[in-house]
Structure 1
Amino acid sequence: MIAQSSRNAVNPEPPGASAAGGRAEARRWQALTVCLVAGFMTLLDVSIVNVALPTVRAGLHMSDSGLQWVLSGYALAFGLVLVPAGRLGDARSRRAVFLAGLALFTAASALAGAAQNQEWLVLARLFQGAAGGVLVPQVSGFIQILFQGADRGRAFGALGATIGLSTAVGPLLGGLLIHLFGPQDGWRWVFLVNLPIGAAALPIGYRLLPAPGPTAGGAGHRDFDPVGVLLLGAGTVALLLPFVQAQQWHGSVRWLLLPLAAVLLAAFVGWERHYARRCEPLVSMALFAVRPYAAGVLLSLVYFAGFTAIFFIFTLYLQVGLHYSALTAGLAVTPFALGSGVSAAVGGRLVSRLGRRLVVAGLLLVLLGLLASALAVQLWSGPLVGWATVGPLLVAGVGSGLVISPNQTLTLQYVPLARAGSAGGVLQTAQRVGSAVGIGVVGSVFFAHAGGRHPDWALAFQLGVAVAGGLILMALLVALADEVAGRRA
């Protein structure tokens, strides 16, 4: 008692310090909640539109090409602005960029919901995708600023759960909205549901998100590198376009864009190295010299190629092949969402202790779940297949939650705060490129067996799963190689 009193006398705790610390802690998590809600909206709009396409076609009399652009235009614009927007947040005000992206995304959602013809909706989706790409990289940047140590792992766990849930819940929410508001105008609410969320998040975000402070890297970090932006943008479009237009752009001419993309991206790397000698580049190539960052970006690229494609072919199999309604097709994917949401939060808490081993375990569970899903379709192909895949999708979802959030934590853990936005933008771009490539590759295999006069939907789904599983196996090899290299180091 005397010793304790002596310590308090020597180092008295300032009055109210504990309460102030508690308020600051609560404010950090409240700010994270705003970021996750906004990020959820933008990522949800990648998947929620899938189940609405039949009613969009009927409501606006859209062509196949127009429908493809409703999907691919969003993904293309989203991926195009991720890295420049992340760099803009680093160089200027992350809060201002985040709030601008949120306001633009809300406005674009209103335009999409009010669309009167095909061209209107396609342009609104391009606008919406670009606004989402402005907003999303700021989220990982805020996590880097607001959290340290184990708390950062928990915060990235929440972000990983958000990514997994947004991808898997999209079909369910879209189906529910169409069921509630009818097939004629239900598709409009797929977009309009964003309006009250965005309107509420804007003032709360302005109040809770940290105001900009001095730029960590000094004046050089305020340069924006316009040549780098142009080279990366042109390279990204050339890389993504052949895949996002795979079902509409027939022939082999489109594949000529891939060597052009390679040239443009190689020029981008060379320019960034040159520009870094005198100014802060759009993307510092020094980031890729850090093994966990380089491995994490590559792992995200190949994992999202397999992970996102599964929902694309599964919802098509259920709705077109087995004539499920939009709502029941969405319900069939719910087990994955539940498993992913719970395990991502758990993975965020365990990653600081288990490291890359946790990602390896998650990838093994995803592969096991996908194999069991293909077997379930083989044994119970028919109206009950949605029930037969509940267990396998739950296992795959648990595994996915142990991949996404821990990988983000491990990838970004050594990134300097002054480059948090651009580094997060590169990681998100890898995910978007992987998703586009995966849907293009897996989708082409799926449609090759689901077309014609006598389509075999079950076989098409199983072959698509096999290709997606191969991509996830590649992600597993990347994770194992990083784990081995880490132990040697």
Structure 2
Amino acid sequence: MATPGDPFSDQYQPDPRRWKALAVCLVVGFMTLLDVSIVNVALPSIEQGIGASSADLSWIVSGYALAFGLVLVPAGRVGDARGRKTTFLVGLTLFVVASAACGLAQGPMTLVIARLVQGVAGGILSPQVSGLIQLLFRGAERGRAFGMFAATIGISTAVGPLLGGALIQLGGAEHGWRWVFFVNVPIGVVAFVAALRLIPARPAETKQALRLSSFDPVGVVLLGVGVLSLMLPMVQAQQWTGDAKWLLLIIAAVSIAAFVMWERHQGRQGRQQLVDLSLFTIRSYSLGCMIALVYFAGFTTVFFIYTLYVQQGLGYSALMAGLAVTPFALGSAVSARVGGELVEKTGRPLVIVGLALVFVGMLTTVLAAYLVPGHNVGYAAAFPLLVAGVGSGLVISPNLTLSLDKIPVTKAGIAGGVLQTGQRIGSAAGIALVGAVFFGQVVATHGDWAHAFRFGLMTAAGLVLIALVVGLSDQFAERRKVDAAV
């Protein structure tokens, strides 16, 4: 018999430890997402410290994202079936071990392999965090919890270069990069102990058997091949010359189409599906996934090209480059919390306002870089980046809440995994596209980094504009339905 403290019971009562458990989840979520961006400013130090080639450096960055994206959906399925606490602890243990291995690496290949394992661990952890929020919170509290999670996402993305630069400054150019990874070890150990005490275990009677057939291995393989084939030519666009790499997109299209057909077949047969395609019949979820895909393709590229511009074009140190993107982090942190509070009242229009602010902030940053192209661009771009950061917090937090709001709790992990896979694919595609434009302009203008940055940022703003158009189109369609009903 279910008890009032059972999250799956109709008489569910809030767990008194839920906010402390959320704090543990947010610390771990911050740590895993931080490793997406923190490594960027450490690449010159890694190159100097262990003699990594440009291809090695590319894999150190892209390998993490690839592994992270591929594991998200299967990990969400495991968490839904076997309990999120157990899956969370396994992923956290693997992440701590992999982080230590990264810091101890003596050669490029060892570091690349350790980063792949670290990405797998991050992919295991991430859907458990969103699933645990669904499990522990209801109603307005859930909006606030997702707002805090979204603030964590925004801060981790923007603070990564600043924290990485500070660690490199403290540790020195040759070995400072190791502390970028070592810092995860003590944090992870403390979080593991706290998670054991604070995160509630799933009641044994609600656990599902996880036989190989229930895991849908065919679906896992088809989705894995499709995502890998889609992401690989994008993240390797600068390293693989020629057009042959784009043939992988054909394999991606065929694999993903086969995956959809297979999942439909599994559903008709009443068998376990890796991805319950009925989730996409929930309008708020499918729209949220589309906005997240396109938005992450635009906004994550800002840090990529901005830190390159100020470091290589203007001679900023790693620490100064990190400080230059801090206004975005501050704006995002504050507005994400506010967005979590307002989303229950305002709904999707809040996301549209956020997208508009990001778009305006990006265009104003382009103008600032044009008017102040020299060393003082960091000061000139501070306020526009703050505006963009405020907008970003109003996008990520409400969109995440609205996307998962109508998802059943028992499917929260897999739904979060699919959503975040879209974000990772969007980030990889955006970095490939904007990076190609940015580096192409550097070459075409014989090293005019300021011009390349402006051109690249306008491309990123165009991607944000697409997300804005998607949101506005949905609102207009909804308004027409209401008017027709009246």
TM range, normalised to the smaller chain?
over 0.9
1:370 counterpart letter in structure 2: M
Q: For 1:440-479, what aligned pairs fall within 5 Å after superposition?
A: 440-451=432-443, 454-479=446-471
* Match of residue 57, structure 1, among 23, 47, 58: 47
Give the Cα–Cα distance (whole angstroms) in 2 for the partners of residues 41 and 484 of structure 1. Answer: 39
Residues 377-403 of structure 1: per-residue CA shift (max 9 Å, x gap): 000001100010110000000000000
- What is the CA deviation profile of residues 310-368 of structure 1, one whole-angstrom value per residue up to 9, with x for unaligned ones? 11000000000101000000000000000000000000000000000000000010011
Question: What are the within-5 Å matches in structure 2 for residues 379-398 of structure 1?
Answer: 379-398=371-390
Which residue in the other structure is 1:137 paired with?
A: 127
CA contact (8 A) 1:91 1:223 kept: no
TM-score, normalization by structure 2: 0.94
* Equivalent pair of 1:49/1:171 in contact (CA under 8 Å): yes
Deviations 1:192-217 (A, max 9, x none): 00001000000110111110125769
CA separation in 2, counterparts of 1:213 and 1:462? Answer: 54
Q: CA deviation at 1:94?
A: 1.0
- For 1:420, the equivalent position in structure 2 comes to 412
The answer (yes or no) to whether the contact 1:144–1:420 under 8 Å persists in 2 is: yes
Residue 404 in 1 paired to residue 357 in 2? no
d(CA) in 2 for partners of 1:236, 1:63 = 26
SS of residue paired to 2:173? helix
Quote the offset at 1:184 in angstroms. Answer: 1.2
- 1:181 maps to which residue? 171
Cα distance, 1:485 vs structure 2: 3.6
1:261 aligns with 2:288: no
- One-letter code aligned to 2:329: A
- Any unmatched runs of 5+ in structure 1? 1-22
Match of 2:217 in 1: 226
- Distance apart, 1:449 and its partner CA: 1.1
Give, in whole Å, the separation in 2 of the partners of 1:486 and 1:70.
44
- The alpha-carbon distance between structure 1 residues 253 and 203, as it changes in their structure 2 partners (threshold 3 A), is same
**Deviation per CA, 1:26-79, whole angstroms, max 9, x where unpaired?**
410111111111011110000000000001000011111000000010010000
Question: Which residue number corresponds to residue 16 of structure 1?
Answer: none
1:192 corresponds to: 182
Query: Does the 8 Å CA contact 2:350/2:398 hold for their aligned counterparts?
Result: yes
Structural mapping, 1:27-176, within 5 Å: 27-176=17-166
Q: What letter is aligned with 1:325?
A: S
Q: Distance in 1 between matches of 2:189 and 2:164?
A: 20
CA distance in 1, matches of 2:434, 2:441: 11
Question: Is the contact between residue 15 and residue 136 of structure 2 (CA under 8 Å) also seen in structure 1?
Answer: no
Equivalent residue for 1:10? none
Structure 2 residue aligned with 1:439: 431
Alignment length, in residue pairs?
A: 468
Say which is worse superposed, 242-251 or 433-442, in terms of deviation: 242-251
Specify the alignment match of 2:10 in structure 1.
none
Aligned ranges for residues 347-386 of structure 1 at < 5 Å?
A: 347-386=339-378
Q: Percent identity?
A: 61
Amino acid across the alignment from 2:366:
A
Match of residue 282 from structure 1: 274
- Counterpart in 1 of 2:236? 245
- Do the aligned residues in 1 keep the contact of 2:131 with 2:413 (CA within 8 Å)? yes
| Counterpart amino acid of residue 52 in structure 1 | A
State the shift of 1:480 in Å: 1.4
Q: Distance in 2 between matches of 1:219 and 1:26?
A: 29
Structure 2 unaligned regions, length at least 5? 1-12
Instruction: State the shift of 1:484 in Å.
Output: 3.0
Question: TM-score with structure 1 length normalisation?
Answer: 0.93
| Structure 2 residue matching 1:269: 3-state secondary structure | helix
Alpha-carbon distance in structure 2 between the residues aligned to 1:63 and 1:218: 46
Native 8 Å contact 2:300 2:431 kept in 1 = yes
Distance 2:356 2:290 in 1: 17
Per-residue displacement from partner, 1:401-423 (whole Å, max 9, x unpaired)? 00001000000011111111110
Determine the structure 2 residue equivalent to 1:7.
Answer: none
Distance in 2 (CA, whole Å) between partners of 1:486 and 1:128 is 42
**2:83, 2:207 within 8 Å by CA — same for their partners in 1?**
no
Distance 2:46 2:284 in 1: 43
For 1:235, the equivalent position in structure 2 comes to 226
Query: How has the CA–CA distance of structure 1 residues 215 and 484 changed in structure 2, closer, same or farther, with 3 Å as cutoff?
Result: farther
